[in-house]
Structure 1
Amino acid sequence: MARALVCVCALICAAAAASVPPIGTQPEQVHISYPGVKNSMVVTWSTSNRTESVVEYSLWGDALFRKKAKGNYTVFTDGGTEKRTSYIHRVTLTDLRHGSAYVYHCGSDDGWSDVFYLTSLNESLSFGPRFALYGDMGNENPQSLSRLQKETQIGMYDAVLHIGDFAYDMHEDNGRIGDEFMKQIESIAAYVPYMTCPGNHESAYNFSQYRYRFSMPGHTENLWYSWNIGPAHIISFSTEVYFYLEYGLDLLFRQYEWLKKDLEEANRPEQRAERPWIITMAHRPMYCSDDDRDDCTRFQSYVRRGRNDTTPIAPGLEDLFYKYGVDLELWAHEHTYERLWPVYDYKVYNGSFEEPYVNPKAPVHIITGSAGCREKHDAFIPKPRSWSAFRSTDYGYTRMHLINSTHLYLEQVSDDQYGKVIDDIMLVKETHGPDAWL
């Protein structure tokens, strides 16, 4: 009897093992992004072995997985000593019903992901999207992660903007830290578009981990791009082109020319009337009052003023953004939160003493780099600069609500204080564009 039971157990175990798909073809690190094309969404994931790239999906409430879309994969070889290879799969879902919820999973008959849901972007110009904003979130000590996971899954956000520095660092342990981080954020990024820009912690092997893992709009390997949502035109770019010249000075000039053309197009009267808000996001800020000798602590920062030690001289970005009436500039890098008064060339241009953010005469800057990482907090200089309005070293992140064409709301959440809102502003712009500064 005992021997028979052992045989039966062995057969059951063998059958169970046979039914488990090979681990190398099992999808992981699922995340979605908006490709900049109406009624579309890109689903990206990774496998260890080569397999098909398929997404099965359906409208919420319909029979599951009535639709199928196929894509392709890119072979990515990490630059570390083991030269680990993975397969990055991308499938674009098209003809989605705008503002509608869908259920999906991804993979192939060799292995399927968990079931997720997404909401296609509302393409209306009157749509008032809500965002979570942060940078500098690591695999170790990602203190804000659990709160962001819950808030995303209960539908608080239409998109997430991760403003550089992922995992700390994605290339470490031959890319395994990157894998673990992408698994961690799956519980956010599989549900809402996870829009990114590169930071200094992505620099290894010419930013290859960043360039391969994400799927942003355009054809610049995720380094710079723009997209539209509701009443806003959002521009993502790389500040790192000013610091890693070994990867090519031409990147700096190519990005600058692209930025100039993109801003010119966004400022055509018919375009600015439709998308009056122009918002930029990039990693290293032009201004900060931190005490760490970063670029933003210098009056002549590379990002703000450019570099005069290159041939030709590399132009900075403050004058360009001012010329084209950029409303809001989002930054990270400093492991703090700092809100600035409207500022240009180190001078404050408040709308008025009583209402500084009502019709301000210069762009508004927000630094939100305190989501949590192994490098912990940064410190501030004891006395804030005249353009610094509010500072906090709490771990946390920022929420943004684009209410309409004239009102934009921002608030800072402290994870140290259990989700308390510790700062908020309403930015009001009755006039957008360069004329707003007059």
Structure 2
Amino acid sequence: MGTFAAIAVFVYGLIPLAFGLPPIWRQPEQVHLSYPGLPGSMLVTWTTLNETDSVVEYGVWGGKLFELSAKGQATLFEDGGFEKRKMFIHRVMLTDLKPGISYVYHCGSDAGWSDMFYLTALKEGADWTPRFALFGDMGNENPQSLARLQKDTQIGMYDAILHIGDFAYDMHEDNARIGDQFMRQVESIAAYVPYMTCPGNHENPYNFSNYRHRFSMPGNTESLWYSWNIGPVHIISFSTEVYFYLNYGLDLLFKQYEWLQKDLEEANRPESRAQRPWIITMGHRPMYCSNADKDDCTQFNSCIRTGLNNTDPPAPGLEDLFYRYGVDLEVWAHEHSYERLWPVYNYTVFNGSKNEPYVNPKAPVHIITGSAGCRERTDPFVPDFRAWSAFRSTDYGYARMQVFNSSHLYLEQVSDDKNGKVIDSIWLVKDKHGPEAWL
């Protein structure tokens, strides 16, 4: 290196990189929202690579910018890779938000602020019509549906997004830099509406540490399982991965099952079910699928569905539990495809009627939507339809859901391959909810 080049390196501040010193990086990034389950609230989460204060400045849309301020705290996260990369995860709770009112906000500190975003506080009570985008299995390489989701979100089509496991492909790779890249990409949707998640199999390295630290879901289970209410819906998110990664502790499987049972009991109390009649579950690996990849859901005795007999004590499955407590809709991902099932229990179809299968069905409805786009591409199906399979597609895409009232729920699948065309849709109509609906 010549004298001039050496001076340039020093003058322009590149000398720390030459000596391998970590950069100073206080600028907020990877901004995303979640709903903490408390009316009038929203949780803002973001990342910096150096420690800073945690502040959100905000104000009512059309009013004075940033006239309100809230402070939170940052926690240090150390990735499990060989570099042991460190980052700071910031969390700030916004409270006393007015239902249905939009706010402009940014986050950070005097050391650096994020871009400006907006959010709309969720409406309170059960008498309104929440709208969702739902999908799983989206990576930072080939995230084919992201541009369309970004446009949908920023024009106000959704009140919440449900990402049903498998992020980034994979968050831990390159010492968690792939996780950083992905969270920067989904900021374009997750900074505008609550981005509600559940863990998938691709999150498993280092005991799901990137997932557990980066996301901020309700409850105190590090986002592994939780429930929340929105409009006339009670949504339960859980981990299917406790059935597969027993090396992280069999106790997690039983703790989750016990929690699920208690949560479903509470949701089925007459006063609870009267206010929020719809119970929807979201978990990554499905109980049923007709893909040709020999995955768990292709087995007749899927462990998600029937449990595990090789543990002490045997681990219970989830199909009987969800049926017993009258779960209306079960949404899944993992298979890189879309599949809609007829109402099904124990491999038996229980349509409401021949002409109107989803009007007062006698079993839960399952939807698999795992083709948002990732480097693993899409998954093929077996040639012949299973008796319980109603519609399937290998197009890249995602689902939309709107819960209109206590009796009517609408679902549709959008094909990104077909320029946003709706390739499948159903109305799920129920005069009764709960286990008595199966009678």
Q: TM-score, normalised by structure 2?
A: 0.95
Query: 2-side partners of 1:275 and 1:290: how far apart?
Result: 34
SS at match of 1:201: helix
Matches within 5 A, 1:52-67: 52-67=53-68
Aligned position for 1:395: 396
Stretches of structure 1 that go unaligned for 5 or more consecutive residues are: 1-9, 15-21
Shift of residue 62, structure 1, vs aligned partner: 1.0
Residue 144 of structure 2 corresponds to residue 121 of structure 1: no
AA aligned to 1:357 is Y
Query: 1-side partners of 2:84 and 2:212: how far apart?
Result: 17
Aligned position for 2:374: 373
Aligned position for 1:3: none
Aligned position for 1:17: none
SS at match of 2:25: helix
Aligned position for 1:41: 42
AA aligned to 1:380 is F
Alignment length (residue pairs): 420
Aligned position for 1:226: 227
SS at match of 1:287: coil
Query: 2-side partners of 1:432 and 1:377: how far apart?
Result: 35
Q: Give the CA RMSD over aligned residues.
A: 1.1
AA aligned to 1:226 is S
Aligned position for 1:330: 331
CA offsets per residue over residues 10-29 of structure 1, 9 Å max, x none? Answer: 9xx99xxxxxxx85110000
Shift of residue 124, structure 1, vs aligned partner: 2.7
AA aligned to 2:307 is G
AA aligned to 1:35 is P
Query: 2-side partners of 1:426 and 1:399: how far apart?
Result: 12
Aligned position for 1:148: 149
SS at match of 1:271: helix
Query: 1-side partners of 2:276 and 2:125: how far apart?
Result: 11
Query: 2-side partners of 1:364 and 1:37: how far apart?
Result: 29
AA aligned to 1:180 is Q
AA aligned to 1:327 is D
AA aligned to 1:214 is F
Aligned position for 2:51: 50
% of aligned pairs identical? 76
Shift of residue 127, structure 1, vs aligned partner: 1.2
Query: 2-side partners of 1:298 and 1:137: how far apart?
Result: 25
Aligned position for 2:19: none
CA offsets per residue over residues 252-292 of structure 1, 9 Å max, x none? Answer: 00000000000000000000000000000000000000000
Shift of residue 81, structure 1, vs aligned partner: 0.6
CA offsets per residue over residues 137-185 of structure 1, 9 Å max, x none? Answer: 0010000000000110000000000000000000000000000000000
Aligned position for 1:5: none
Aligned position for 1:197: 198
AA aligned to 1:426 is W
CA offsets per residue over residues 55-88 of structure 1, 9 Å max, x none? Answer: 0000111110001000001100000010000000
AA aligned to 1:50 is E
Matches within 5 A, 1:416-427: 416-427=417-428
SS at match of 1:105: strand
SS at match of 1:25: coil
Which of 22-31 and 218-227 deviates more?
A: 22-31
Query: 1-side partners of 2:385 and 2:34: how far apart?
Result: 37
Stretches of structure 2 that go unaligned for 5 or more consecutive residues are: 1-7, 13-22
Query: 2-side partners of 1:287 and 1:394: how far apart?
Result: 19
Q: TM-score, normalised by structure 1?
A: 0.95
Residue 255 of structure 2 corresponds to residue 248 of structure 1: no
Aligned position for 2:315: 314
AA aligned to 2:316 is P
Query: 1-side partners of 2:378 and 2:372: how far apart?
Result: 10
Query: 1-side partners of 2:326 and 2:101: how far apart?
Result: 33
Matches within 5 A, 1:96-245: 96-245=97-246
SS at match of 2:427: strand
Query: 2-side partners of 1:145 and 1:116: how far apart?
Result: 18
